[in-house]
Structure 1
């Protein structure tokens, strides 16, 4: 992985949809506002945008940590911009801070993400090993 410049920033702007509001499936709809779990998804997405320009051929990234502190609401139809700011590269770990702001200028969340950079072949091999274990279990042959 090539070095990421200090303070490198990426953004992601989304429009909150009804699908992005709080609905816990089994428990049903709770609040008609932007859900914390969608904010977490968007934090991870913009965190990935931090590493993509700096990956070497054959490298891939995988999220390993996300912290979300959800401090305010956004309604369906509102635009939310999530800004990721690179903070540190420690070996294969890339850390970024996150900030979510509505089109009204209200900060509605902040936090951080960590991406882990590995050879893509290693990432793929880990997923294949998991698929093999799962297939063995589904087939009833064990696979521990």
Structure 2
């Protein structure tokens, strides 16, 4: 990773909750809110944005952990801001603390861990996934 990867680096993503983000099981919409799995997807996107600018050529990140506590609903049409903050770094690991907010209300918190490897190692991990 480049020296620019520092504890305290922040990345943000904003989105408006749309109908396609509602929790749906067997084709039935359960609630008119943002689903937990959509929040988790946005957590992943935001944490990746915190990592990618700091990768060296030939490096790639792999997500190895994601936790999310869905604390409050984000309603259809509401804007959600996800903020991912780098809280720990070592030679090959980046840990981000993540928070999702609608205005001043916290809707979700969590953590994401990414491991950074040379691209060849990532390709080998993928190639050996079914062996």
Task: Give TM-score, length-normalised by structure 2.
Answer: 0.91
Q: Which runs of 5+ in 2 are unaligned?
A: none
Aligned residues: 130
Aligned-partner Cα distance in 1 for 2:15–2:120 = 32
The answer for the alignment partner of 2:68 in structure 1 is: 68
Quick check: 1:116 aligned with 2:123?
no
Cα deviation 1:57-104 (Å, max 9, x = unaligned): 1000111111100100111211100001110012311001001001x3
Q: Which runs of 5+ in 1 are unaligned?
A: 134-143
Quick check: 1:36 aligned with 2:36?
yes
Where is the helix percentage greater, Structure 1 or Structure 2?
A: 1
* Segments of 4+ moved more than 3 angstroms: none
Tell me the secondary structure at the aligned position of residue 31 of structure 2: strand
Aligned-partner Cα distance in 2 for 1:112–1:100 = 11
The answer for the alignment partner of 1:16 in structure 2 is: 17
Tell me the secondary structure at the aligned position of residue 127 of structure 1: helix
